[in-house]
């Protein structure tokens, strides 16, 4: 009887060890896949790193196999990469986000204050992986390709905050954000030009609190705007654009938490009604 129990125990132990080893192997594969994606980003997007900011991002050579120990990378307790903070890293390059959006648990991406420009394929629309980003800060770079913004608005369904201010983004915004968690959008200090964004403004998510379109080249008649679900909107700036108009749109009264509406500078000649 006692021997039978011992045998059973041994069987269970062996079974447990097999299952555990498989679990660990899976985990190690995930780690190397994430490390491969990060080093691919470094290879493809970074052409110059004068401060050696990414000096310990070396996969496959010695001690730093686990990307969680790399500079700027943060991970959850189970070891998956959840954040990347390369702010003011002194990096120059042509930004390609494909390898980063392929990190299936990446929530926070901060690339502010580098010298990233954009080539003709900063994101591929055929990139089949989703996008798990919640916070995206690409501000203060040299990015020109506004399809990055369209891609992020249409693909990143958990997006909470996006800041692409102080770049050289030009052309029209084609897409409205689809995340229903979005609170902050800062597109200020770029070269966006368009008739004022009637569709964009009408379909903003109800969660939005802060919308900054200042210092671009948006044009048109402010009174033509239709505000939709703007019950949480607190700050809205279109200052330093080429906006005209002589009255406020009636639907602006939907935005009953609005504290700051900044229409300063240029052709605005509005009056309160
Ligand atoms: C990184 O992105 C490039 C460009 O989209 C792609 O060709 C390459 O296969 C990606 N690398 C990995 C490891 O997925
Ligand atoms: C966006 O980034 C700029 C420059 O990096 C910063 O000054 C600004 O406050 C940020 N916007 C928001 C809404 O946080
Ligand atoms: C508006 O803001 C409040 C407080 O932050 C939040 O609880 C609520 O969910 C927001 N509304 C929407 C539609 O996101
Ligand atoms: C600003 O927009 C106008 C059209 O409204 C266009 O003619 C002009 O070239 C734009 N300027 C810049 C600097 O993009
Ligand atoms: C301002 O917008 C009008 C169209 O509304 C356009 O004709 C004009 O060229 C724009 N001015 C500048 C300085 O971009
Ligand atoms: C409105 O925008 C102008 C120009 O961008 C800025 O100087 C001013 O401080 C803003 N006003 C408020 C109340 O935010």
DSSP 148-160: HHHHHHHH-TT--
- List Cα–Cα distances, 21 to 15, 17, 24, in angstroms: 10, 6, 5
- List Cα–Cα distances, 106 to 5, 8, 63, 136, 231, in angstroms: 47, 43, 23, 10, 30
Residue closest by Cα to atom 12 of ligand 1: 37
Q: What mean pLDDT is reported for the chain? A: 86
Helix (H) / strand (E) element for 210: namely: strand 210-212
**What separation in Å is there between the alpha carbon of 165 and the centre of ligand 2?**
7
What CA–CA distance (Å, rounded) separates 226 from 55?
50
Domain range summary for the chain, segments of one domain joined by +: 2-262
Query: How far from the centroid of its chain's Cα atoms is residue 161's Cα?
Result: 7
pLDDT digits (tens, 9 = 90+) for 91-104: 999 999 999 999 99
Provide the whole-model pTM. 0.87
Confidence of residue 22 (pLDDT cuts 50, 70, 90): very low
pLDDT digits (tens, 9 = 90+) for 240-254: 998 888 889 999 999
**What separation in Å is there between the alpha carbon of 9 and the centre of ligand 2?**
60
Pocket of ligand 3 (CB under 6 A): 206-207, 232
State yes or no: pLDDT of 19 exceeds 60.
Answer: no
Burial track 164-182 (b if 16+ CB lie within 10 A, e otherwise): bbbbebebebebbbebeeb
CATH number for the domain whose boundaries are 2-262: 3.80.10.10
Residue closest by Cα to atom 10 of ligand 5: 242
Q: What are the backbone dihedrals phi and psi of residue 50, each rounded to the nearest 5 degrees, phi first?
A: -65, -25
- List Cα–Cα distances, 198 to 95, 206, 215, 219, 249, in angstroms: 30, 16, 18, 11, 12
Compute the average pLDDT of residues 233-239.
Answer: 96
pLDDT digits (tens, 9 = 90+) for 74-129: 999 999 999 999 999 999 999 999 999 999 999 999 999 999 998 666 666 555 76
């Amino acid at each position: 009887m006692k021997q039978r129990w011992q045998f059973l125990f041994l069987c269970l132990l062996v079974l447990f060890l097999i299952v555990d080893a498989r679990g660990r192997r899976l985990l190690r594969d995930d780690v190397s896949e994430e490390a491969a994606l990060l080093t691919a980003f470094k290879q493809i997007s970074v052409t110059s790193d004068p401060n050696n900011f990414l000096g310990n991002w070396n996969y496959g050579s010695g001690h730093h196999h686990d990307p969680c120990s790399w500079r700027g990378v943060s991970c959850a307790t189970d070891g998956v990469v959840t954040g990347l903070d390369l702010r003011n890293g002194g990096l120059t390059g042509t930004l390609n986000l494909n390898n980063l959006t392929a990190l299936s648990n990446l929530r926070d991406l901060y690339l502010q204050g580098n010298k990233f420009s954009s080539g003709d394929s900063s994101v591929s629309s055929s990139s089949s992986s989703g996008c798990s980003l919640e916070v995206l800060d690409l501000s203060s770079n040299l990015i020109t390709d506004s399809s990055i913004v369209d891609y992020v608005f249409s693909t990143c369904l958990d997006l909470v905050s996006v800041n692409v201010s102080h770049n050289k983004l030009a052309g029209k915004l084609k897409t409205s954000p689809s995340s229903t968690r979005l609170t902050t959008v800062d597109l200020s200090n770029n070269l966006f030009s368009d008739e004022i964004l009637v569709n964009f403004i009408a379909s903003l998510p109800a969660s939005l609190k802060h919308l900054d379109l200042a210092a671009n080249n948006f044009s048109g008649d402010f009174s033509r705007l239709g505000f939709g679900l703007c019950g949480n909107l607190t700050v809205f700036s279109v200052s330093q654009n080429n906006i005209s108009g002589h009255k406020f749109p009636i639907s602006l009264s939907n935005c009953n938490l609005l504290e700051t509406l900044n229409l300063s500078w240029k052709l605005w000649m509005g009056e309160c009604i």
